[in-house]
Structure 1
Amino acid sequence: MLKKVSLLAAGLLATAIAWAAPTVEMTTNLGKFTLELFPDKAPKTVEMFLYNAKHGFYEATIFHRVIDGFMIQGGGFNSSMEEKKTLTPALQNEAATGGPNLRGTVAMARTRDPHSARVQFFINLKDNSFLNFRASNVDNFGYTVFGKVTQGMEVVDKIAKVPTGNAGYYENVPTTPVVIQDVKIISEK
């Protein structure tokens, strides 16, 4: 009987592991944090983020836009504020299924064009419901949430407190670069 219970427990554990959400560990010069991704809500966005992580795209990029009480944005510029050439095409916006922009969630940054997200992402520092999908017109399309911080939110909050200024055309740029040193995939399923 004990052997049957052990086999059943092992089978349940294997099933739970197979259905676990993809997770990544992001290391910055101010500390590490872990993201759980939402492939069930934003499959194409998660696929693109993992592709870029696997290919080292995010290494040596920075958090180039930091607004305490709102969000921190990164993943597209180096420490000289030069935009990095992207590896992937623009994404179809998945904000309608991605979920709400709550504190600790990670979402895709984009231009006014709702389908222009490529590599830049932001982490919400508070609930930002005005960024949620409300209608399929340009003004209310929303920003695709594709994950959340599960460990290390104190590091995200630390990044939010760095001094910022202007750098050329850009505002809210940390005066000392906050560098993404590594994005390591912990699990993909």
Structure 2
Amino acid sequence: MRHLIAVFLFAAALGLCAAPKPKVKLTTSMGVIVMELEPDAAPKTVENFLKYVRKGQYKGTIFHRVINGFMIQGGGYVEYLGKKRTDNSILNEADRATAAGLKNKRGTVAMARTPDPHSAAAEFFINVVDNPALDFKAKTNDKTWGYCVFGKVIQGMDVVDRIKAVKTSNKRSDFLNLPVKPVVIKDAVEIK
């Protein structure tokens, strides 16, 4: 009987000690998307994303790259394609996140970057299909480093699906797959 009580108390203590995962609500011009973040798997990435959320970085930005059958990307540009200033880029934690089981699957949120694996700053994307080619494989080069998944959509995949289906244009060579009608992130806030 003492053993059962000890096990119960230990399990209860674990439940009380486990902090809830941070959540972020994106209010877009097409509806609300709620994301749950994974600080245990990608701590620096989550900290970086929340820093931008808290300082209002994403308010008024757009989803500037929308590819149905791939992903929707935003957080770096305002409606008239002016680039938002960012802090320094962060180290890519795709190796750690992948080891923790986070992969670029439909509904997951990952950091966008240039060919430099460690160039992510504020831009992020939401996978609209499973994208295993974006997962970490090795620290060899920009293609094998992967893209760090740091959360998932827990509400609003219907909104993501509406965004992925918008009409896009390739009229500007520097903005391929740009929605013809801007999809605006009106606000991004941390929620409990």
Length-normalised TM-score, structure 1: 0.89
Which residue does 2:189 correspond to in 1? 184
Superposition deviation, residue 13 in structure 1: 11
Superposition deviation, residue 36 in structure 1: 0.2
Which residue does 1:120 correspond to in 2? 123
Q: Which runs of 5+ in 2 are unaligned?
A: 1-8
Which residue does 2:135 correspond to in 1? 132
Find out whether 1:82 has 2:87 as its counterpart. no
Q: Which runs of 5+ in 1 are unaligned?
A: 1-7
1:51-62 superposed matches below 5 A? 51-62=51-62
For 1:94 and 1:109, the matched residues in 2 are separated by 12
Q: Report the AA paired with residue 179 of structure 1.
A: V
- Identity of aligned pairs, percent? 52
Q: Secondary structure at the match of 1:157?
A: helix
Alpha-carbon deviations, 1:53-112, whole Å to 9, x = none? Answer: 0000000000000000100000000011111111x2101000012221000000000000
Q: 1:145 aligns with which of 149, 154, 166?
A: 149
Superposition deviation, residue 12 in structure 1: 6.7
Q: Report the AA paired with residue 121 of structure 2.
A: R
Q: Report the AA paired with residue 156 of structure 1.
A: V
Alpha-carbon deviations, 1:39-65, whole Å to 9, x = none? Answer: 001000100100100000000000000
Q: Secondary structure at the match of 1:171?
A: coil
For 2:81 and 2:115, the matched residues in 1 are separated by 21
For 1:12 and 1:67, the matched residues in 2 are separated by 45
**Alpha carbons of structure 1 residues 166 and 51: separation in structure 2 relative to 1, 3 Å:** same
For 1:152 and 1:12, the matched residues in 2 are separated by 33
1:1-80 superposed matches below 5 A? 15=16, 19-80=19-80
For 1:141 and 1:180, the matched residues in 2 are separated by 29
Q: Secondary structure at the match of 2:53?
A: helix
Alpha-carbon deviations, 1:127-155, whole Å to 9, x = none? Answer: 10000000101220000000000011000
Which residue does 2:175 correspond to in 1? 170
Superposition deviation, residue 33 in structure 1: 1.0
- C-alpha RMSD of the superposition: 1.6
Q: Report the AA paired with residue 116 of structure 1.
A: S
Length-normalised TM-score, structure 2: 0.87
For 1:69 and 1:22, the matched residues in 2 are separated by 28
For 1:36 and 1:173, the matched residues in 2 are separated by 26
For 2:166 and 2:91, the matched residues in 1 are separated by 33
Q: Secondary structure at the match of 1:51?
A: helix
Q: 1:103 aligns with which of 95, 103, 106?
A: 106
For 1:33 and 1:15, the matched residues in 2 are separated by 28
Superposition deviation, residue 19 in structure 1: 1.6
